[in-house]
Each structure stands twice: as C-alpha cells, then as structure tokens.
Amino acid sequence: MKVNPNKKLNQDFKSFEIEIKDIDWKTRCELNDMMLKETKNGAPSFSFWGKVVLDCTTLTESELNKYSTTEIIAIANAIFEEANGKK
C-alpha cells in the first residue's frame, strides 16, 4: 500500500510503500470500533495510531520506531481508508 503525505495537513515526507495484512470483515469492524471508542473524548492518542499500524502491517516495533510520528499517523490513516474502501 502506498502512503502519501496529506498536503492539506502540511505533512512533509516522501511517499513510501508499506505491506499491510489482509483486512477482513472482522478486522474492519474491530478497527472502526477502536476508532469510535478512541475518538469519543477527542483526538486519538499516539499509542492508538501505533497499535493500528502494528496490528495491520507486518512491521515490528523496531521497524515502526524508525518512522516519524507524522508517518505513523499517515500509515494508520491509509489503513483506515483501505479497510473502508476509499481509494
């Protein structure tokens, strides 16, 4: 999956590819339930974004730690878009 910076959010990183796991119906439901629960009291926490990436990609914690905060959030957002059918 290609991860691109969101220019509207002034994200400034080079696009890159990341391998995601198959997101089936159960995983999609779990992701959306997590998002609803996490955003109930405001913006999602950084640990939320990290959990989404670790749960849905083949990345290890060590590999994930090499990405910037902005890149990790962008990966998680791309996962949500992929899971929910936005292309």
pLDDT tens-digit series, residues 44-73: 999 999 999 999 999 999 999 999 999 999
Q: Please report which confidence band the pLDDT of residue 7 belongs to, taking 50, 70 and 90 as the band edges.
A: confident
Give every CB contact of residue 47 below 8 A, 6+ residues apart in sequence: none
- Measured between alpha carbons, how far is 11 from 4 in angstroms, rounded to an integer? 9
Burial 19-33, CB ≥16 within 10 A → b, else e = ebeebeeeeeeebee
Instruction: Give the pTM.
Output: 0.88
Q: Region 34-52: what's the mean pLDDT?
A: 92
What was the pLDDT predicted at 86? 61
How confident is the prediction for the chain on average, in pLDDT?
Answer: 92
Residue 11 has pLDDT above 90, yes or no: no
